[in-house]
Copies of this chain bind each other. A is one copy, B any other.
Amino acid sequence: MTTPLPAAQPVQHNHLSPLLTDLYQLTMMHGYWRNAMHEQSAVFDVYFRRNPYDGGYAVWAGLEPVLEYVLGLHFDADSLAYLGSLELFEPAFLKALEGWRFSGSIESFPEGSAVFPHEPLLTVRAPLWEAQLIETALLNTLNFQTLIASKAARCVSVMGNGTLVEFGTRRAQGPDGALGAARAAYIGGAAATSNVLAGQRFGLPVVGTHAHAWVESFPDELSAFRAYAALHPDTTTLLLDTIDTLASGLPNAVTVARELREQGHELRAVRLDSGDLAYLSRRVRSALDAAGFPGVKIMASNDLSEEVIQSVIREGGRLDLYAVGTQLVTGGGPGGGALGGVYKLAELAGTLRMKLTGDPSKTSLPGAKRVWRGVNAEGEFVWDVIGLDTDTRPPSPGERVSDPSNPLKSSRLPAGLDWHNPRQVVVAGGQRVQSPETLQAVQARARAELSRLPEGTLRLLNPHTYRVSLSGALQASRDALIGQLQSDLHG
């Protein structure tokens, strides 16, 4: 069964507590406040260093819940009382927190955008103590949402005309893990979720079949199938493997499909939940077709992943619906489990800041930045350039740009690209400057953007590496700051 889709994106009941943060954010805020630095204007960027799943892209997700969090955030009496009980904070600081509100601006890729490593995906410009507090919850949401939206996109990218549905609540990482995954999976291309609360909160279509326990609760499988079909004669999906898929589930499903048809209804689908899905789906398809039921769809739901889906299709599997659970809602598999998005200070009180560290791969990009995306005449995304925010001229053909993680590797930009800024200011002066988008619009953006990536970028294994470069001016600015930090250090 499926349910109709409401038109608007309802509010997410996210955790809005100011305590959903690491303790050090609060102790640093205290320190900034005590040193009268808390009102200094700061610029922080969110970015990640490696695509999830060792893939060629990520689908940016989580912006709307982040905006609800940031704009709703304040310190209520209960939170302040708890902070007081820790005996770490001066009363005058806690008093100052009573008036804390986010007053800054946020610039971001729209949700559903195709994004890549090293790009400033979201930039916060705010007084230092405002920008600092929100780091933890912001990363928590963006990392997880982007991880799952990207996983859904990978699954959809290999299923041809198949349909993805999210069935993972029981294996998700807590209740919000399930709810957030349902939302993000929809952005990445899932058609529906089994999670009823996600349906209510986010206006997602909800779908379901029945469990083995249903069959076991009746004297025999045929009685169980008949009883279920009687409940929803036009939207029933029957689970075939409680006893034996081909020997029992399939013939009983055909019997029920015939009985439904005699009553003017059609069986919607059957579900395979164990065994060799390529083989079983071919056998089930043939049998259904031969019995006069070419319209009955076949769903599979047994520990699916994008790799399993691809393999089943390559072996001639005949599946229409892919119910993906664990791997989708936890973003599992190699290179998965978590997206390593970070939030790094780029500028404070008008001067550039960066983290040097002993690990060059963890060095951050200093200064307020902007992103340019170069599109060719066919509308294909070809090249992204990260430049200084003050440089408002688009990149030029022949301009020398460098690799974000390897300054020695440089290239010249090709001609014939049309450059635009893919990011938008979504919050200014602590206020939204855009209405929330519907999740359907976000899903449509993701689908459209992924269709514009260069060939091979969507490949699961060893994909094409989308070009992301630093502008010459940004590279020079970083080199100068590294030189200055090292000269302070050694000399």
- Distance of A17 Cα from B175 Cα, bound (Å): 10
- Asked whether, in the complex, the Cβ of A170 is within 8 Å of the Cβ of B139, the reply is yes
Kindly supply a per-residue 1/0 record for chain A positions 41-52, scoring 1 wherever the CB is within 8 Å of any chain B CB and 0 otherwise: 010100000000
Number of copies: 2
> Chain B residue with minimal CB distance to A348?
B217
Output the least CB separation between A346 and chain B (Å). 9
A202-242 at interface with B (beta carbon < 8 Å) = 206-214, 216-217, 220, 227-228, 230-232, 241-242
**Which of B83, B340, B353, B490 is A171 in contact with, Cβ under 8 Å?**
B340
Which listed segment binds B: A19-27, A113-121, A419-427? A19-27
On chain B, the residues within 8 Å of A85 by CB distance are: 3
A297-349 at interface with B (beta carbon < 8 Å) = 326, 330-332, 336-341, 343-345, 348
**Which of B28, B196, B331, B490 is A22 in contact with, Cβ under 8 Å?**
B196
Does any Cβ of B come within 8 Å of A179's Cβ?
yes
- Asked whether, in the complex, the Cβ of B31 is within 8 Å of the Cβ of A227, the reply is yes
- Asked whether, in the complex, the Cβ of B247 is within 8 Å of the Cβ of A489, the reply is yes
- Asked whether, in the complex, the Cβ of A337 is within 8 Å of the Cβ of B330, the reply is yes
- Asked whether, in the complex, the Cβ of B22 is within 8 Å of the Cβ of A170, the reply is yes
Output the least CB separation between A168 and chain B (Å). 9
Does any Cβ of B come within 8 Å of A172's Cβ?
yes
- Distance of A485 Cα from B215 Cα, bound (Å): 13
- Asked whether, in the complex, the Cβ of A140 is within 8 Å of the Cβ of B174, the reply is yes
- Distance of A208 Cα from B207 Cα, bound (Å): 43
On chain B, the residues within 8 Å of A3 by CB distance are: 85-88
Does any Cβ of B come within 8 Å of A459's Cβ?
no
Q: Indicate the size class of the contact surface on chain A.
A: 35 or more
Output the least CB separation between A271 and chain B (Å). 10
Output the least CB separation between A466 and chain B (Å). 24
Contact A232:B88 (CB < 8 A) given known A135-B170, A216-B353: yes
Does any Cβ of B come within 8 Å of A275's Cβ?
yes
> Chain B residue with minimal CB distance to A184?
B174
Which listed segment binds B: A355-363, A378-386, A387-395? A355-363
Contact A27:B232 (CB < 8 A) given known A217-B353, A243-B485, A489-B248: yes
- Distance of A13 Cα from B284 Cα, bound (Å): 46
Does any Cβ of B come within 8 Å of A64's Cβ?
no
On chain B, the residues within 8 Å of A247 by CB distance are: 489-490
Does any Cβ of B come within 8 Å of A128's Cβ?
yes
Does any Cβ of B come within 8 Å of A173's Cβ?
yes
Does any Cβ of B come within 8 Å of A254's Cβ?
no
Output the least CB separation between A104 and chain B (Å). 15
Does any Cβ of B come within 8 Å of A141's Cβ?
yes
- Asked whether, in the complex, the Cβ of B173 is within 8 Å of the Cβ of A210, the reply is no
Q: Which 9 A-B pairs have the closest CB atoms?
A: A23-B208, A176-B176, A24-B208, A173-B173, A174-B176, A139-B170, A15-B175, A19-B197, A174-B180
Q: A residues touching B (Cβ–Cβ < 8 Å)?
A: 1, 3, 14-15, 17, 19-28, 30-32, 34-35, 37, 40, 42, 44, 79, 82-83, 85-88, 128, 132, 135-137, 139-141, 143-144, 147, 167, 169-181, 194-197, 199-200, 206-214, 216-217, 220, 227-228, 230-232, 241-245, 247-248, 273-275, 326, 330-332, 336-341, 343-345, 348, 353-359, 362, 485, 488-490
24 contacts between A and B (CB under 8 A): A1-B27, A3-B85, A22-B167, A22-B169, A23-B199, A23-B207, A24-B194, A24-B210, A37-B217, A40-B217, A135-B170, A140-B169, A141-B175, A144-B177, A173-B176, A174-B177, A177-B180, A212-B345, A220-B488, A241-B357, A242-B357, A273-B357, A274-B358, A326-B337
